[in-house]
Amino acid sequence: MRYRKKDLIPPRLLYKYRPFADQHDSVRKILSQNNWWFGSRLSFDDDEDFIFPGVEDDARLVGLDLERAKTDVQDVLDKTGVFCLSENPKDPDLWHRYGSDGAGICFELESDHVTEPDFGPFKVKYSDRPKPLWDRFASAEKRRKFVDAHLLQKSTSWKRQAEWRCVRKWEARCKPTANRYYPIARRALTAVIFGWRLTEREQWQVIDWMKLGGWLRNVAQTSVPRG
């Protein structure tokens, strides 16, 4: 996968869809406590996403258990925290999947302030090519492309999501970065977009949470038209 300049620099604004209510009470925690969930690939919709393709067999890998190596690396990926965003605030499929079919909300975020620069956002590339096997003896450039492929490659069937990711990499013997809450800079949240099926009572509840969390000074609230 080749990256152009526009692939390396995220759009100024990115979007995060959420249902008004879910099992994690996400919207309340986001707005009242500034807690943003970095999840594990184990909860992704795409079962093939973040799957480690394996190690390229090589005679120089004497005594290396390739299957064990594959399992170990997959464990790293499973425990790596990921925060998914989209370029598009009006996509019907994203509203359906992640915004309760219009009964949820969409956060508008300024990409420069979502997380530390080392963690993204990084552009997801869409390709149906098989992911390359890990080559222990490859050049640094080839290894970088491999990392991009297994962290940031999805099939073309997901292309309309126009996804960018913040990725908090994890190393063994450290606390997993997945399934944890992290704060974002206050200036990152620029708008909360109400879904067209969000009730007036729920809208006022969102505003109350925003007041409690101290967001209202920087944030606008808007609604979106049906569809």
Instruction: Tell me the percentage of the chain whose pLDDT exceeds 70.
Output: 90
Question: Helices in the chain by DSSP H: which ranges?
Answer: 5-8, 26-33, 66-78, 92-98, 140-152, 200-213
Which pLDDT band, with edges at 50, 70 and 90, does 1 fall under?
very low
Q: Which of 119, 122, 132 has the alpha carbon at shortest distance from 170?
A: 119
In this prediction, residue 33 carries a pLDDT of 96
The predicted model gives 22-30 an average pLDDT of 93
**Range list of β-strands (E), the chain:** 13-18, 36-38, 81-86, 105-110, 122-123, 125-126, 153-154, 163-168, 180-182, 189-194, 220-223
The predicted model gives 46-53 an average pLDDT of 90
The predicted model gives 181-201 an average pLDDT of 95
Q: What is the reported pTM?
A: 0.88
The predicted model gives 6-31 an average pLDDT of 91
Greater confidence (9 vs 84) lies with: 84
In this prediction, residue 72 carries a pLDDT of 84
Greater confidence (180 vs 58) lies with: 180
